[in-house]
Amino acid sequence: MLAGVAILSLDLLPGAVLIALGAAAIGGSYVTGRRRGVARSHLPLPVLPKIEELSVREELHGRITLGGGLRLQGQTRLVEGKITAVLTLGRPGP
C-alpha cells in the first residue's frame, strides 16, 4: 500500500491500482483472521485434571525375632500397596 502512495505521486493509474490491491489484501487478511478467531472460539474448553487428594498406603506383614547372639531374624510376605487419588476436571488456571 505504501508503494502505491509513492507511485501515485509519479503516475495516477498504477498508483491507484497498487493502493486498491493493498487495501484488498489488508481487508482479506482481516476477514480471514476474524473467521479463524470465530472458529477457535467454538472449540471445546480445555479440561485438565487437578489433584484434590492423594494417598499412598503400603502394608508389610511379617515377624521379626531376636535370635541367639542378638541377631534379628525375620520372615515377611510381599508388600501390599494402594494409591488413591481424587481428581477434579476443570479449566486450567492458577
Domain ranges of the chain: 2-41, 48-90
Amino acid 62: pLDDT: 86
In this prediction the pTM is 0.36
pLDDT at residue 71 greater than cutoff 70: yes
Angle at 38 between CA 36 and CA 40, to 5 degrees: 70
pLDDT value of residue 54? 92
Residue 1 has pLDDT above 60, yes or no: no
Per residue in 8-65, pLDDT (tens digit) is 667 778 778 888 888 898 888 888 888 776 656 655 666 778 888 999 999 888 888 8
